[in-house]
Chains A and B, each alone.
Chain A
């Protein structure tokens, strides 16, 4: 992260903030979507967090800590959106060019369904640890730092979450769905 950009944005330089936001927005949306499992809520959380970052940037003491600080704001926005009800308004979404809306890299549709349902049963705290560690590929001490929790707590949340997801997959083996039985 370019700390000079952060410092300029802290002083109210909108062009510098545009560059900063451009560098993080796609990743923020991807993380929010994976935690919230809802694109509308994820878009709202991303938008809210980018505005909050702009508002609160002068209060960031150490510009080198921008990344961790901004992720904490995103996660707070995710929690807030997760508590909201869905929105009733027709909407549009940008789709990546030359790609179907949904990739299908999973070997099993059943795995995907079971994981989805297992993941939705996790709390946002547990989801955040899974996404930061297994999607962003951050080491667990970095995850703890981003979330502002002790490393032991991050380990514990990850262990609990993965145990729940494994149980969801195993439950599927015991009770095959119609698709699997075909």
Chain B
């Protein structure tokens, strides 16, 4: 039987030893959105000023408000409206052809490091991965950029969706030897597409579905591996770590769900490693996986221009 003191000690220890993540990425997103997030003006000061006023001032303001209401009422009486034939300012204003609101339609991505947050149009898009310009085509709609590394299809609250992670800063350089505790492989794999693909293929607790297979992406040598996250991983999917870019700036990939299939392409573009993950879930439409493969098949690289 636990005593109160034991329970308190154990609960405090449990809360303290829970991992702590950095909120830097969230902070970056929030600060980026301040320009488009207007502040709501204060209203409390009106009430405070009114309550602080002298009684005479309150009466005067109340009287003025009554007069103003009466004037508005007179103006709006039927008899006070312009007669037929007279110009009616308000009517003429409303009769003007209204400018339709500009729809926020998806558009092809301009030259930028990553498509801005929002839906992506059918067409050509560009991302910069590991300093290499990557061009790809979307042939269906419904793909949405998260603005920094992810492009997802479908409703995010529904398990029939699919998604990509484009490792934009640099490619992962290691995998986790114990995904549930987040212990990385030691020593880390050699920084080659073959060694990294082999490490992905042997990730503990996952089932190998494809590869590692030598392929070409955009004319460059690449390795393709697909793994499945089974039901018995021993921890929650979002605690099941897969691979990590330890340098820029220590970002780790974790499983989205049990039953999901993660395709990974590791591409050697003249010595620069480019890493792309595509993922589908147990309930995903089979077409989603085909689309992921088509998008990878459409990739071209352009090295003659720098990022941005």
Contacts and interface: CB of A to CB of B under 8 A. Distances in A.
A30 to B, nearest CB: 5
B30 A103 contact: no
A18 B30 CA distance: 9
A93 B21 contact: yes
Contacts of A56: 39-40
Contacts of B150: 89-91
B256 A89 contact: yes
Given A100-B183, A105-B17, A165-B11, A21 B241 contact: no
B165 A92 contact: yes
B250 A173 contact: no
Contacts of B17: 103-106
B14 A25 contact: no
Contact of B252 (A33, A55, A101, A104): A101
A105 to B, nearest CB: 3
A25 B256 contact: no
Interface string B27-40: 10111011101111
Interface residues of A, number: 64
Given A59-B42, A111-B10, A89 B146 contact: yes
Contact of A90 (B24, B39, B181, B279): B279
A5 interface: no
Contact of A134 (B11, B24, B176): B11
Contacts of B176: 101
B213 interface: no
A58 B14 CA distance: 38
Contact of B1 (A26, A28, A38, A170): A170
Interface in B249-272: 249-254, 256-257, 262
Residues of B contacting A: mostly: mixed
Interface residues of B, number: 76
Interface string A150-168: 0000000000001001100
Contacts of B241: 95, 101
A38 B18 CA distance: 12
Given A40-B238, A47-B26, A90-B165, A166 B13 contact: no
A96 B155 CA distance: 31
Contacts of A50: 26-27, 30
Contacts of B232: none
A33 B18 contact: yes
Interface string A25-57: 110111001100011100100110011001111
21 contacts: A14-B31, A17-B34, A21-B31, A25-B30, A26-B20, A29-B22, A29-B26, A43-B21, A46-B26, A56-B40, A58-B39, A88-B154, A88-B257, A90-B279, A95-B251, A96-B20, A111-B14, A115-B11, A115-B14, A130-B11, A134-B15
Interface of A: 10, 12, 14, 17-18, 21-22, 25-26, 28-30, 33-34, 38-40, 43, 46-47, 50-51, 54-59, 61, 84-97, 100-107, 111-112, 115, 130-131, 134-135, 162, 165-166, 169-170, 173
